[in-house]
């Protein structure tokens, strides 16, 4: 087996990710690496356990280039299995353990992993005779050798999943191999410095929390990971661990703002240098409230897909001058084009197209094909640029509702609905109508009784009449998942087939 002396000759830019973490562990074995459920795990502990798990995965058939599906909840085990996969050249492929069995079965069929970690081993509806490593074995790998392994490089460092707007699962394999410099190259854009104390608030099966927390970990940081997001607990963790960098989605930001002012303002947030949000449109009133609370220099926003062809970034000060924007392009290229492919002038709404820097392959789909035109790709988002090159998003083309010939963007109505103090979350969809083609239907999760008339009056003060929902529906279930994403396609399909409320 390999030892530290064998790893030393590797050039800095060619350090495999597993080796990179082991070097951090060798430098400061007792340094905190991951804290979860009130317990802090050191670098040395995680290095040893990931070596054991790497051998377990290898014994089950995983190896260089194979996928390892990780269906574990947030916790140290997730990071240990990810490191273990890298150490044998495999590709970590995270998946939500809470997906319904049919969706999980479809994802596993697309991934065709060598090993599935966690979930339900054995005779589940998605087992299919695959090799499994139960969650109990992750917690206690047994008497397996915990010494270092020979250096090996995975051809892709991650393979998160996405259902997109169609509901069909696909994998997004990162174009970069599992080498340190390739992975931490985005750290400046993400504002992740060395030795950050990073608070991971979101689910690790989602690309944002995965990317941010692994970047922080590999830069020698201490990752404080929440099992599930809780507004009050998140502020307690910032205060207790002197968190410097916090990952957020707009739903989390709204819930934190809904805490009693005396509780929120009593927390010591002075250690926080960056509160970074992404993954969904942020209502302007929420963004403004966070800027007022923590200051514009702390707030940052990223717009990009998991595919990472291009990205925009904006900080709080820029946002105050370009209210509602998601920033200027800082990586790759973007343009806004009409249905005929012609580039539109500033101020005109069209489809947002992206392409990476020349010669750079940022991802590969498994189970889907890119929407591509002359080397440009689109994620389906609509938007426009202003005269200064700042991008503003309207909504996804697939989510747009055509009402009597007029374009209605659900995100705009949802942002207005979410301003109502009784509304916790909302989802706006189009339902068929013989007269208008489609009508606007709003599904709302509320924390107190509010009538349709009150909601309609609230919206009428903010939207033109043709954008007002024709009907409202109440739900007691959260409409956004743990990553802050709406399952709009599934919600609409349920109502079209009669499986959802009306």
C-beta separation of 323 from 284 below 8 A? yes
> Rounded CA gap, 395 and 408, in Å?
9
Q: Which residue has the tokens 């010494």?
A: 147
* % of the chain at pLDDT higher than 70: 91
| Strand-pair partners of 385 | 391
Mean per-residue pLDDT of the chain: 88
Question: What class is the 24-175 domain?
Answer: alpha beta
> Rounded CA gap, 175 and 118, in Å?
26
Q: Which of 311, 314, 295 is nearest to 303 (CA)?
A: 311
Q: Which of 366, 368, 367 is nearest to 65 (CA)?
A: 366
What is the enclosing helix (H) or strand (E) of 414? helix 410-418
Q: Which of 24, 31, 21 is nearest to 183 (CA)?
A: 21
**pLDDT single digits (tens) 79-90:** 999 999 999 999
Residue 168's pLDDT band (cuts 50, 70, 90): low
pLDDT of res. 311 = 96
Buried b (16+ CB within 10 A) or exposed e, 164-203: beeeebbbbbbbbbbbbebbbebbeebbbbeebbbbbbbb
Q: Which of 393, 319, 386 is nearest to 354 (CA)?
A: 393
C-beta separation of 189 from 44 below 8 A? no
Domain with CATH 3.40.50.980 in the chain: 24-175
- Is it the case that residue 501 has pLDDT exceeding 60? no
C-beta separation of 391 from 416 below 8 A? no
C-beta separation of 247 from 199 below 8 A? yes
C-beta separation of 159 from 67 below 8 A? yes
**pLDDT single digits (tens) 431-471:** 887 777 788 999 999 887 889 999 999 999 888 788 899 99
> Rounded CA gap, 452 and 474, in Å?
10
For 222, the token pair is: 């201490």
> Rounded CA gap, 428 and 409, in Å?
9
On whether the 401-496 domain is CATH 3.40.640.10, my answer is: no
C-beta separation of 75 from 38 below 8 A? no
**pLDDT single digits (tens) 330-367:** 999 999 999 889 999 999 999 999 999 888 888 998 87
For 168, the token pair is: 């069909």
Question: Could you give the count of Cα atoms lying within 13 Å of 30 in the half-sphere of its Cβ?
Answer: 0
Question: How far out from the chain centre does Cα 169 lie?
Answer: 16
Domain with CATH 3.30.300.30 in the chain: 401-496
C-beta separation of 275 from 294 below 8 A? yes
> Rounded CA gap, 386 and 365, in Å?
32
Q: Is the pTM of this model over 0.85?
A: no
CB-based contacts of 461, cutoff 8 Å, min separation 6: none
Using alpha carbons, list the distances in angstroms from residue 467 to 192, 282, 394, 416. 40, 19, 14, 11
**pLDDT single digits (tens) 103-128:** 777 888 889 999 999 986 544 544 56
**pLDDT single digits (tens) 3-33:** 333 444 444 458 999 999 999 999 999 999 9
Using alpha carbons, list the distances in angstroms from residue 69 to 62, 113, 269, 315, 426. 10, 6, 36, 35, 32
Better pLDDT: 119 or 321: 321
- Is it the case that residue 65 has pLDDT exceeding 90? yes
H-type helices in 187-274, by residue range? Answer: 187-190, 207-218, 231-241, 250-257, 261-266
DSSP code per residue over 321-335: HSTT--BEEEESEEE
Kindly compute the dihedral angle of the four CA atoms of residues 419, 423, 425, 427, in this order, to the nearest 10 degrees.
Answer: -90
Q: Which residue has the tokens 């992206």?
A: 354
Using alpha carbons, list the distances in angstroms from residue 171 to 106, 140, 163, 381. 11, 29, 9, 19
Residue 500's pLDDT band (cuts 50, 70, 90): low
- Is it the case that residue 163 has pLDDT exceeding 60? no
C-beta separation of 189 from 274 below 8 A? no
Strand bridging mode 471-475 / 437-446: parallel
Q: Running DSSP on this structure, what letter comes out for residue 283?
A: P
């Amino acid at each position: 087996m390999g030892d530290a002396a064998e790893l030393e000759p590797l050039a800095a830019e060619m350090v495999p990710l597993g080796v990179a973490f082991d070097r951090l562990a060798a430098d400061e074995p007792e340094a905190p690496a991951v804290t979860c459920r009130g317990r802090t795990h050191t670098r040395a502990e995680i290095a040893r356990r990931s070596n054991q798990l790497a051998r377990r995965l290898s014994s089950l058939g995983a190896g260089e280039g194979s996928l390892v599906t990780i269906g574990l909840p947030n916790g140290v085990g997730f990071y240990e299995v990810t490191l273990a996969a890298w150490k044998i050249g495999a590709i970590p492929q995270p998946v939500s353990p809470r997906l319904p069995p049919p969706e999980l079965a479809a994802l596993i069929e697309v991934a065709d992993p060598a090993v599935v970690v966690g979930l339900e081993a054995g005779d589940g509806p998605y087992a299919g005779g695959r090799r499994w490593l139960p969650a109990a074995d992750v917690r206690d790998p047994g008497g397996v050798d915990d010494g270092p392994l020979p250096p090996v490089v995975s051809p892709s460092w991650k393979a998160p999943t996405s259902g997109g707007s169609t509901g069909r699962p696909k994998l997004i394999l990162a174009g970069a191999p599992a080498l340190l410099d390739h992975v931490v190259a985005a750290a400046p854009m993400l504002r992740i410095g060395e030795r950050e104390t990073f608070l991971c608030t979101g689910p690790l099966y989602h690309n944002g929390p995965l990317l941010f927390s692994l970047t922080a970990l590999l830069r020698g940081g201490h990752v404080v990971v929440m099992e599930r997001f809780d507004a009050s607990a998140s502020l307690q963790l910032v205060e207790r661990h002197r968190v410097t960098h916090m990952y957020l989605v707009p739903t989390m930001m709204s819930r934190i703002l809904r805490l009693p002012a005396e509780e929120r303002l009593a927390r010591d947030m002075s250690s926080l240098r960056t509160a970074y949000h992404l993954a969904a449109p942020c209502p302007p009133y929420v963004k403004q409230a966070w800027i007022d609370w923590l200051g514009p220099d702390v707030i940052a926003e990223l717009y990009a897909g998991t595919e990472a062809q291009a990205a925009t970034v904006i900080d709080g000060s820029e946002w105050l001058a370009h209210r509602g924007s998601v920033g200027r392009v800082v990586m790759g290229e973007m343009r806004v084009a009409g249905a005929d492919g012609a580039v539109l002038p500033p101020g005109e709404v069209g489809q947002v197209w992206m392409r990476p820097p020349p010669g750079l392959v940022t991802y590969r789909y498994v189970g889907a094909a890119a929407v591509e035109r002359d080397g440009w790709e689109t994620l389906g988002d609509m938007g426009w640029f202003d005269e200064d090159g700042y991008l503003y998003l309207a909504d996804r083309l697939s989510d747009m509702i055509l009402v009597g010939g007029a374009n209605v963007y659900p995100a705009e109505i949802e942002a207005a609905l979410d301003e109502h103090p009784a509304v916790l979350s909302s989802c706006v969809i189009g339902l068929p109508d013989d007269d208008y083609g489609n009508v606007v239907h709003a599904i709302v999760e509320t924390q107190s009784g509010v009538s349709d008339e009150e909601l309609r009056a609230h919206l009428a003060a903010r939207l033109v009449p043709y954008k007002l929902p024709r009907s409202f529906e109440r739900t007691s279930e959260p409409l956004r998942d743990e990553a802050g994403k709406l399952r709009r396609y599934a919600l609409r399909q349920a109502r079209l087939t009669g499986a959802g409320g009306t």
